Structure 1
Amino acid sequence: MNKVFKALNDQTRREILNLLKEKDMTAGEIAEAFNITKPSISHHLDILSQAELVTSEKQGQFVIYSLNTTVLDELMKWIITLKDE
């Protein structure tokens, strides 16, 4: 859970998640939406992957990133249990 909070603590990573909410994208497509270097985008995607907030699948020479809502569902359930107790 700590990795999830670390990943969500950065504005760029939250914006990447918002992009992936709309559609699956390559790292290059994601990078086009930002004014930062591609290696920086790769770093953010790595942190999101480690937190299991995004999944990736290699298709030919490209890696396609997708939003993994399962982790978000688990996080929301946990937050709701805090309120209930």
Structure 2
Amino acid sequence: MTEELLNHYFRALASKTRRDIISLLKDDCLCAGDIGKYFNLTGATISHHLKILSESNLIKRKKVKQTVYYSLNIDVWNILIKWFCEMK
């Protein structure tokens, strides 16, 4: 994994709100409206955080009819976990 890619992941995780969104998604896939219910933030702000997480590939988007569902990108998380485990 390149340093540039790691920096990209860590920038996305620098926000507590984005880390909280990740925690919500660890158990289930949710739409933006359902995610927003957990925060005292506007829909636009939630969408901004979801966009950053999605662009970093930490989460995936799946559109079902008119609703977009978000879930963790397990492949990327496994790579990050492996990277952490290999640190000495």
Same fold (TM over 0.5): yes
- Is residue 2:68 matched to residue 1:43? no
The aligned counterpart of 1:29 is 34
Unmatched 5+ stretches in structure 2: 1-5
Unmatched 5+ stretches in structure 1: none
- Is residue 2:86 matched to residue 1:78? no
1:81 CA displacement = 2.5
RMSD over equivalenced CA pairs, Å: 1.0
Q: Which 10-residue stretch deviates more, 49-58 or 71-80?
A: 71-80
- Structure number having the greater helix percentage: 1
Structure 1 length as normaliser, TM-score?
0.91
Deviation >4 Å, runs of 4+? none
SS at match of 1:28: helix
Aligned length: 83
Q: Distance in 2 between matches of 1:68 and 1:11?
A: 19
1:82 CA displacement = 2.5
Q: Distance in 1 between matches of 2:18 and 2:78?
A: 18
